[in-house]
Amino acid sequence: MADLPYRAIIVLGKTWFRAMDFQWRVTGSEHIPSEGGAVLAINHVSYVDFIMAGYGAVPSGRLVRFMAKRETFDHRLSGPLMRSLRHISVDRADGQASYDEAVRYLKDGEVVGVFPEATISRSFEIKELKTGAVRMAADAGVPLVPMVLWGTQRLITKDHPRDFGRHKTISVTIGEPISPEGATAVEKTAELRTAMGAMLDKAVAEYPPDEQPPGSWWLPARYGGTAPTPEEAKRLDREELAERAAKRRARAEAARAKRSG
């Protein structure tokens, strides 16, 4: 059987899900093509989204190859696993190579998972999307399939302690395929964001009310939660980037001082 490591990971994942007694709500799996390439465009609210999105595609019989940052592949533990699952390394210093590899995967009939927001949404709303997902779907001549996750942020996300308590509901909504043709990449990306926004609204509205009471930190502000508004989230993102840049400069200066000393 092909992809034995991937299938073994799915078995392990199912074991974990049963132990956690997750209540799964997967809708629209029929929208993932049963064969041929497709880009799966997924919202990003949690550090475990790739696991949940991959499981959401299981009913369709497809294995998703995710695009993930190069550091994940460089790690001594996660690196061999990511390569064995045939995921795609994204090197921000050489993004074209990663893009070209994803297009090749798509032309070879693979389903490629992309998080077009690029980073986790602190507001848990759909952020501005990068155009890469639309462009690679157009270049490969494959459909663009939107997917929205909800509830995964309750497990582990930015700015909050992890909570792997049991009995949480995990919602996976898969929308109708969008053709990447017929408009510019910017226009199609706006269409994708609109579709994902509507899917998110529906997922939030249908989530068990007792699991997201008003004031919940994982609930968007416009739904009565205490998550940052999209504007506040943008400010926090800018501050995080500035802090990272300052740390990189400090490390570089310390390295130069050590060499000169």
Query: What is the three-class DSSP state of 115?
Result: coil
The residues that bridge with 65 in the sheet, in sequence order, are: 112
| Pair 65, 88: CB distance under 8 Å | yes
| Pair 98, 66: CB distance under 8 Å | no
pLDDT for the residue 258:
83
pLDDT for the residue 48:
95
d(CA 73, CA 83): 7
Q: What is the CATH number of domain 4-227?
A: 3.40.1130.10
Distance in Å from the first CA to the final CA of the chain = 58
The tokens describing 47, both together, are: 């550090």
| Pair 106, 142: CB distance under 8 Å | yes
CA atoms within 13 A on the CB side of 146: 23
pLDDT for the residue 163:
97
pLDDT for the residue 257:
86
d(CA 29, CA 64): 13
| Amino acid in the structure at residue 12 | L
Where are the domains positioned within the chain? 4-227, 229-261
d(CA 259, CA 158): 36
Q: Model-level pTM?
A: 0.93
| Pair 101, 110: CB distance under 8 Å | no
The tokens describing 119, both together, are: 């980073």
Between strands 169-174 and 144-150, the pairing is antiparallel
pLDDT tens, N- to C-terminus, the chain (261 residues):
578 999 999 999 999 999 999 999 999 999 999 999 999 999 999 999 999 999 999 999 999 999 988 888 888 888 888 999 999 999 877 789 999 999 999 999 999 999 999 999 999 999 999 999 999 999 999 999 999 999 999 999 999 999 999 999 999 999 999 999 989 999 999 999 999 999 999 999 999 999 999 999 999 999 999 999 999 999 999 999 999 999 999 998 988 888 886
CA atoms within 13 A on the CB side of 204: 21
CB-based contacts of 35, cutoff 8 Å, min separation 6:
109
d(CA 7, CA 207): 29
CA atoms within 13 A on the CB side of 256: 6
Q: Which residue has the tokens 């997201």?
A: 212
pLDDT for the residue 12:
94
pLDDT for the residue 1:
52
| Amino acid in the structure at residue 8 | A
Identify the DSSP state of 221: G
Number of H helices, E strands in the chain: 8, 7
The tokens describing 175, both together, are: 């929308």
